[in-house]
Amino acid sequence: MTSSLPLIMLGAGGHAKVLLALATALGSKVAGVCDPALAQSGLTHWRGVPVLGSDDALNQFSQDDVALINGIGQVIGSGVRAKVFARFRDRLFHFPPLLHPAAWVAATAELGDGVQIMAGAIVQPDSRVGPNTIINTRASIDHDCQIGADVHVAPGAILCGGVTLGDRVFIASGATVIQGISIGAGAIVGAGAVVVRDLEAGAVLLGTKPRLRPHA
């Protein structure tokens, strides 16, 4: 699911690399990249894609000229990804959902603008995924989940059926949220954690602590 318009990547970090590969797998061409660090470096191309400059380079385009890919990864506590998305969405730029060919999304699932579904991810029937949300590699979203905006469900995380996530929630790699749980806006669930009760907004639940056994 992409746009018929030329695509411009915002950001050039690790997440952007994955999205460039995803767009290529979909047969879509990324016509340019905007990134402040690349603009200062003087490089003309990034991974074969023309460097247009910083985000201000988009001032030369209108929403009728290009569609955008938010290639900025979700760094906990920074909010940069959400701010960039809101800035250009307010200017009516389109962020098409990106679905990897190796992902599976049910026909009755609803995806907001700019949703990114990575390889091996699953979104089951009647789940709703809000705008600018990342469902990362091999994450599993079961039936009837309600996921807000600017959420990141990291690689290998599992949401059982009927889970609700507020905006800006971060579910780290390998975490599991059992059926029917509600997690408030801005909460963080650590890697490998198992969520068995509701979490309020802004809560932080750490994952399992590793133990190092002494040698026999």
Over the Cα atoms of the chain, what is R_g? Answer: 18
DSSP 3-state of 111: strand
* Catalytic residue selected from 15, 94, 100, 143: 143
Q: Find all residues with CB under 8 Å of 51, minimum gap 6, and list them.
A: 32, 33, 35, 38, 39, 43, 44, 45
Quote helix, strand, coil % in the chain, to nearest 5: 15, 25, 55
Q: Are strands 45-46 and 49-53 parallel, antiparallel or unpaired?
A: antiparallel
Burial grade of 152 (CB within 10 A; 0-12, 13-18, 19 or more): buried
Whether 15 sits among the annotated catalytic residues: the reply is: no
DSSP 3-state of 46: strand
Active-site annotation, residues: 143
